Amino acid sequence: MNYETLYAFTLATAALAISPGPDNIYVLTQSLANGKKYGLATTAGLLSGCLVHTTLLAFGVSVIIRESDALFLGIKILGAIYLLYLAFMVYRSDTALDVSSEKVVKKGLWQLFKQGFIMNVLNPKVTIFFLAFFPGFLFSDTLSTVLQFYVLGLLFMFVSGLIFCGIAILSGTISKFLVDNQNIGAVLKWLQVIVFVGIAVYLLLSGK
């Protein structure tokens, strides 16, 4: 078992979770508008969607990709292109972060859970990450591929869950920090650019 691969996967997951995006901003604004438990409900929905992606990988999709060099290469190239496109769009975007909760529509806990689940399942960034990035982090020559993908999926959910729950619980402090430090938007913007470009380069350079 290659623990270094799992450590690298954990760092990559943390970088994605910390980088400002629609999911963590949504958790933040819902927590500010409705309360911490509503942010936690949103987080639970987002993380539950990860089980769908993990199951698709574990039972068939990843096998097809790994058995076909051409398909595997195509997935990697398309994934890298998409991530570079996201990096370019972030580069062109404004550095200001809108965390205002004034226009957030109030919803119940179950509604937020369902919406978070749907957001995750239909999010192309998550789809590309799971389909193209997970196969590069298989960590054992003895464990079954199905089990390894579920380990990676659960690790992804655990790390992302810690960060997203932290955002929900500390939403007030985080919001005040963002308002008091206007330059943080530029820092987070470039962090997101670096994360997207870094993963894209990894996809292009990683072997089968």
pLDDT band at 20 (very low <50, low <70, confident <90, very high): confident
pLDDT at 78: 79
Q: Tell whether the model's pLDDT for residue 19 goes beyond 80.
A: no
Q: Which residues contact 15 (CB under 8 A, 6 or more apart)?
A: 195, 198
pLDDT in tens, 98-127: 555 555 667 788 998 998 899 888 876 677
CA-derived radius of gyration, the chain? 17
What tokens appear for 54 in the block? 């993990």
pLDDT at 105: 65
pLDDT band at 94 (very low <50, low <70, confident <90, very high): low
pLDDT at 100: 57
Q: Using CA atoms, how far apart are residues 76 and 16, in angstroms rounded to an integer? A: 18
pLDDT at 187: 73
Q: Which of 6-10, 50-54, 128-132, 179-183 has the lowest mean pLDDT?
A: 179-183
Instruction: Give 52 or 195, the one with higher predicted confidence.
Output: 52
Q: Using CA atoms, how far apart are residues 7 and 88, in angstroms rounded to an integer? A: 28
- Record the pTM: 0.78
Q: Using CA atoms, how far apart are residues 203 and 73, in angstroms rounded to an integer? A: 9
Amino acid identity of residue 184, one-letter, is: I
202 close to 15: Cβ distance less than 8 angstroms: no
